[in-house]
Amino acid sequence: MSIQNEIDRLMDNVRSNPQLREDLLAAAKSDDPMKSFCDVCVKNGYEIYLGELFAYGQDMNDAKLRSVNGGGVNAIDGWDDAFGMLIKEIENISCKPEESNG
C-alpha cells in the first residue's frame, strides 16, 4: 500500500477516533516528532514509516515545482513540510466518534 493510501486511511480514522487524534498530536510535540508520529501510526496498524514520511514530503515538493512549467527552480519555504501540514490537518479535525449500532 502506498504512503498516500495509508495517510488517507489514517486521516479517515482520525475523524472518528479521538484517542488516535490525541496520540498523534502528542507524538508531534515530542523530542523526535516524526519518529514518534510514525511509531503511533505503526502501533495502530498504519504502515507509515519515517523514511517514507520524509520521502513523501520531498515528493510533494518536487511535484509542485514541476507543476509551474519550468518556473519553479527554487523551493518555496514550507512547501516541503508535509509532516507539518499533516499535523495541522489533524489539529483542525473535529472528531465525531462512531455511533454504535447496538
Per-residue pLDDT at 62: 65
With a cut of 70, say whether residue 63 has pLDDT above it. Answer: no
Whether 98 maps to a domain, the answer reads: no
Encoded amino acid at 54, one letter: F
Digit-coded pLDDT (tens) for 16-40: 999 999 999 999 999 999 999 999 9
| Domain interval for residue 38 | 3-91
Dist CA 72 CA 79 (whole Å) = 12
Q: Is residue 96 situated within a structural domain?
A: no
From 15-29, 40-54, 63-77, the region with the lowest mean pLDDT: 63-77
What is the helix, strand, coil percentage profile of the chain, to 5? 60, 0, 40
Per the listing, cell 488516535 goes with 20
Say yes or no to pLDDT of 51 above 90.
no
When divided into structural domains, the chain yields a total of 1
- Separation of alpha carbons 61 and 79, rounded Å: 6
Average pLDDT over residues 62-89: 70
What is the value of pTM for the model shown?
0.76
25, 90 contact by CB (below 8 A): yes
